[in-house]
């Protein structure tokens, strides 16, 4: 099966890609049948030199049965030569698994129960003791006279 795809060239942290037709089993930067163009992601998006390819040869290879990669489909769509590529959903590998979701749900349920109990406790009327139940007043000792304090000291 033939693919129209990108092969990487350029230096480290300075990518440059060639648009090629290659067998799908060959490595990314390996053997290819024909070079159709280039893609320089370091140039601004508005630049005409960012993506260059031979439209006639591209049409020929697609008519022969070569399948463009998603990025090449995007380039073709921008050039008005094909439909917009289907954007695949991103992986869900970063999301929590089933057991973790169950634990989170249990924790949320426990938190909701605690909040409900706290709200019920706060809403309950506060019992105020009846006036008859109030303790008897405590007698306070009379102040010591100054004369007695002088006699002692």
Residue-wise pLDDT tens digits, 74-100? 999 999 988 888 877 777 888 888 899
Residue-wise pLDDT tens digits, 31-44? 999 999 999 999 99
Residue-wise pLDDT tens digits, 46-81? 888 999 999 999 999 999 999 999 999 999 999 998
Q: Could you tell me the pLDDT band of residue 144, with boundaries at 50, 70 and 90?
A: low
SS (H, E, C) the chain: CEEEEEEEEEECCEEEEEEEEEECCCCCCCCCCEEEEEECCCCCCCCCCCEEECHHHHHHHHHHCCEECHHHHHHHHHCCCCCCCCCCCCCCCCCCCHHHHHHHHHHHHHHHHHHHHHHHHHHCCCCCCCHHHCCCCCCCCCCCCHHHHHHHC
C-alpha distances in angstroms, 119 versus 52, 124, 126, 128?
A: 67, 9, 14, 20
pLDDT at 28 (0 to 100): 87
Q: Please indicate, yes or no, whether the overall pTM of this predicted structure exceeds 0.85.
A: no
CA distance 152 to 70: 107
Q: Could you tell me the pLDDT band of residue 123, with boundaries at 50, 70 and 90?
A: confident
């Amino acid at each position: 099966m033939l693919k129209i795809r990108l092969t990487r060239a350029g230096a480290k942290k300075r990518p440059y890609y060639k648009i090629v037709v290659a067998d799908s089993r060959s490595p990314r930067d390996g053997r290819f049948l024909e070079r159709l163009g280039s893609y320089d992601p370091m140039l601004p998006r508005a630049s005409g030199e960012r993506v260059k390819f031979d439209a006639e040869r591209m049409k020929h290879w697609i008519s022969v049965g070569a399948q463009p990669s998603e990025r090449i489909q995007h380039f073709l769509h921008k050039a008005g030569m094909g439909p917009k590529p289907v954007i695949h959903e991103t992986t869900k590998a970063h999301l929590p698994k089933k057991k973790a979701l169950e634990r989170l749900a249990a924790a949320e349920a426990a938190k909701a129960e605690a909040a409900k109990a706290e709200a019920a406790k706060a809403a309950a009327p506060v019992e105020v003791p009846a006036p008859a139940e109030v303790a008897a007043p405590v007698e306070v000792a009379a102040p010591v006279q100054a004369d007695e304090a002088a006699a002692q000291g």
